[in-house]
């Protein structure tokens, strides 16, 4: 519940007239407006939220936050909170709400796996009390304030991810969040289009560590790149988690059963768990979340149980069987690190026949062709039945695979996801596993949708 006078004080705004109904949530998309909503008119690269103020009121908004010089301000369609800059005001609202929080705040950043790490840490902390956190992957200058405003101020724990794709973007987010603890995931060449090199990315990510208080806690992996740089940036206690004996929380993957993880940690912690996702990358994410929960005081048996029950967010490596074929939907995002990790996880899949469907990786800038070719060479090393490359931007992946010796007869170059589904249709058999991986803008999940559309109940793979 937000009081109108309090909101105005937080952002320095002025009400045209007070809303008659209580404000219980803050939204920036008029399509998601409902009872109790304050609609924030944010101007973006593609559209301006001020165009949708009237629509927001029609959908049930109780008030709107708008620029004082905007068209809605001249002809108010309802109670308006007038400000000079709505983005700045949104941040100010989140800062005011943040001051009311009573729980422990954990920030998550890194190049890959932020959302999964955030969700997994929140799941393992739940036995200790209510947990607030980022909505989906809303981790930028608009998403983070909106997620913070949706958080219960009385939550015992709050786990929020902070993201960036340009230099200098993390500092204001960290200043807003004011975390007590931090989790750093794997650092690599993600968004490198806007950075000089990978070290510059690591330095930017270390901003979260520099924002921690002296009595804070940082979770790092000692056996991953840029550990020394990150360690030097942390002004507080450091806890390490990794697949190395040098870590505080040591994980060992069973060579016979790779989803089995044996964990040893401080204070006699010993866990033997079956992970819900395959691959070394998820095992490393799990170790970070285990370390956070254990340091917070969660009982080991509850950590193990909730870890085994965890299910990943949509399109982040979860499996779905359609027409007898196992689809591994990892189409939410892609970069050089995550593609290599997805291929490694697929290699561990028990299916006797495995297929790879890859699309383009975005925001690689001048390095794009080289990284795509490297992904192709890596794919060529796997035990797959076939490789399918989708879209013109991903062409260097196919070239890289062929250059590494992959047979042209088992390689398909498809223009669209729908074409890829048709190429696969007569070739897939029951029990086959198919990995689908690309950057979000490629919408490569349409391969699965096209397959499902023509695979009705009772219809099996192979035509």
Neighbours of 334 (CB within 10 A): 26
Longest Cα–Cα distance of the chain, Å, equals 71
Nearest-angstrom CA–CA distance, 255 and 82: 61
Work out whether strand 104-109 and strand 354-358 pair parallel, antiparallel, or are unpaired: unpaired
Nearest-angstrom CA–CA distance, 375 and 364: 13
pLDDT at position 463: 42
In eight-state DSSP terms, residue 429 is -
3-state secondary structure of 16: coil
Nearest-angstrom CA–CA distance, 87 and 141: 8
**H or E element that contains 86:** helix 86-98
Beta strands in 93-248 (DSSP E): 104-109, 131-133, 157-161, 181-184, 217-220, 237-242
3-state secondary structure of 402: helix
Q: Which of 112, 61, 165, 144 is nearest to 330 (CA)?
A: 112
pLDDT at position 456: 58
List, edge to edge, every strand of the sheet that includes 63-67: 14-15, 80-83, 63-67, 37-40, 25-27
Across 248-266, average pLDDT: 97
Nearest-angstrom CA–CA distance, 264 and 251: 7
Nearest-angstrom CA–CA distance, 401 and 387: 9
Quick: pLDDT tens for 203-236. Answer: 999 999 999 999 999 999 999 999 999 999 999 9
- Percentage, residues of the chain above pLDDT 90: 92
Helix, strand, coil % over all residues of the chain, rounded to 5: 40, 20, 40
pLDDT at position 241: 98
Neighbours of 358 (CB within 10 A): 29
Across 72-83, average pLDDT: 95
Q: Is it the case that residue 364 has pLDDT exceeding 90? A: yes
Would you place residue 1 in the very low, low, confident or very high pLDDT band (cuts 50, 70, 90)? confident
Average pLDDT, the chain: 95
Across 324-341, average pLDDT: 96
List, edge to edge, every strand of the sheet that includes 104-109: 131-133, 157-161, 104-109, 181-184, 217-220, 237-242, 249-253, 260-264, 270-274
Specify whether the CB–CB gap between 288 and 219 falls below 8 A.
yes
pLDDT at position 190: 87
Q: Which of 286, 274, 277, 278 is nearest to 243 (CA)?
A: 286
Neighbours of 435 (CB within 10 A): 27
In eight-state DSSP terms, residue 313 is P
pLDDT at position 458: 47
Quick: pLDDT tens for 153-177. Answer: 999 999 999 999 899 999 999 999 9
List, in sequence order, every residue forming a beta bridge with 252; answer none if it has no partner: 262
DSSP 323-354: TTEEEEEE-S---HHHHHHHHHHHHT---SSE
Quick: pLDDT tens for 15-59. Answer: 999 999 999 999 999 998 989 999 999 988 788 999 999 999 999
3-state secondary structure of 247: coil
pLDDT at position 461: 62
Across 114-131, average pLDDT: 97
Specify whether the CB–CB gap between 347 and 445 falls below 8 A.
no
In eight-state DSSP terms, residue 195 is S
Q: Which of 34, 35, 140 is nearest to 87 (CA)?
A: 140
pLDDT at position 455: 79
CA angle 103, 122, 144 (to 5 degrees): 70
Q: Is it the case that residue 104 has pLDDT exceeding 70? A: yes
Across 123-138, average pLDDT: 94
Quick: pLDDT tens for 438-452. Answer: 999 999 999 999 999
Report all structural domains of the chain as residue ranges with CATH numbers, in order of start.
4-89 (3.40.1390.10), 101-309 (3.40.1190.10), 318-453 (3.90.190.20)
Would you place residue 280 in the very low, low, confident or very high pLDDT band (cuts 50, 70, 90)? very high
Q: Which of 169, 121, 192 is nearest to 337 (CA)?
A: 192
3-state secondary structure of 220: strand
Residues 6 or more apart from 26 whose CB is under 8 A from it? Answer: 2, 37, 38, 40, 90, 93, 146, 149, 150
Q: Is it the case that residue 301 has pLDDT exceeding 50? A: yes
């Amino acid at each position: 519940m937000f009081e109108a006078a309090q909101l105005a004080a937080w952002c320095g705004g002025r009400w045209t007239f007070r809303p008659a109904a209580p404000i219980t949530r803050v939204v920036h998309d008029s399509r998601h407006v409902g009872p109790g909503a304050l609609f924030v008119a944010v101007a973006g690269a593609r559209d301006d939220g001020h165009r949708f103020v009237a629509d927001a009121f029609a959908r049930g908004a109780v008030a709107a936050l708008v620029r004082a010089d905007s068209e809605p301000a001249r002809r108010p369609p309802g109670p308006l909170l007038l400000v000079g800059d709505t983005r700045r005001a949104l941040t100010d609202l989140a800062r005011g709400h943040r001051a009311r929080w009573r729980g422990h705040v954990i920030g998550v950043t890194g190049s890959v796996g932020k959302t999964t790490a955030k969700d997994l840490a929140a799941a393992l902390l739940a036995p200790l009390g209510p947990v607030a956190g980022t909505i989906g992957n809303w981790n930028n200058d608009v998403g983070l304030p909106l997620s913070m405003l949706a958080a219960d101020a009385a939550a015992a724990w709050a786990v929020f991810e902070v993201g960036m794709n340009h230099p200098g973007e993390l500092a204001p987010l960290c200043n807003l969040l004011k975390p007590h603890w931090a989790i750093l995931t794997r650092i690599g060449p993600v968004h490198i289009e806007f950075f000089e090199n990978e070290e510059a990315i690591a330095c930017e990510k270390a901003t979260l560590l520099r924002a921690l208080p002296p009595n804070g806690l940082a979770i790092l992996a000692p056996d991953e790149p840029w550990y020394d740089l990150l360690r030097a940036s942390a002004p507080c206690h450091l806890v390490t988690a990794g697949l190395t004996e040098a870590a505080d929380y040591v994980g060992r993957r069973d060579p016979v059963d790779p989803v089995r993880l044996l964990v040893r940690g401080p204070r006699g912690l010993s866990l033997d768990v079956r992970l819900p996702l395959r691959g070394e990358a998820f095992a490393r994410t799990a170790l970070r979340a285990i370390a956070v929960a254990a340091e917070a005081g969660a009982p080991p048996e509850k950590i193990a149980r909730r870890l085994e029950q965890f299910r990943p967010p949509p399109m982040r490596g979860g499996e779905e069987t359609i027409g007898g074929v196992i689809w591994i939907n990892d189409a939410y995002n892609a970069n050089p690190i995550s593609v290599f990790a997805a291929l490694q996880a697929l290699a561990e899949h028990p299916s006797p026949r495995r297929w790879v469907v890859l699309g383009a990786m975005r925001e690689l800038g001048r390095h794009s062709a080289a990284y795509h070719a490297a992904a192709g060479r890596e794919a060529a090393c796997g035990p797959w039945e076939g490789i399918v490359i989708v879209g013109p931007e991903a062409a260097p992946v196919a070239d890289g695979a062929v250059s590494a010796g992959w047979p042209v007869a088992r390689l398909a170059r498809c223009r669209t996801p729908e074409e890829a589904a048709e190429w696969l249709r007569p070739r897939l058999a029951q029990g086959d596993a198919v990995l689908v991986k690309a950057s979000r803008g490629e919408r490569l999940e349409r391969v699965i949708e096209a397959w499902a559309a023509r695979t009705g109940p009772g219809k099996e793979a192979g035509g």
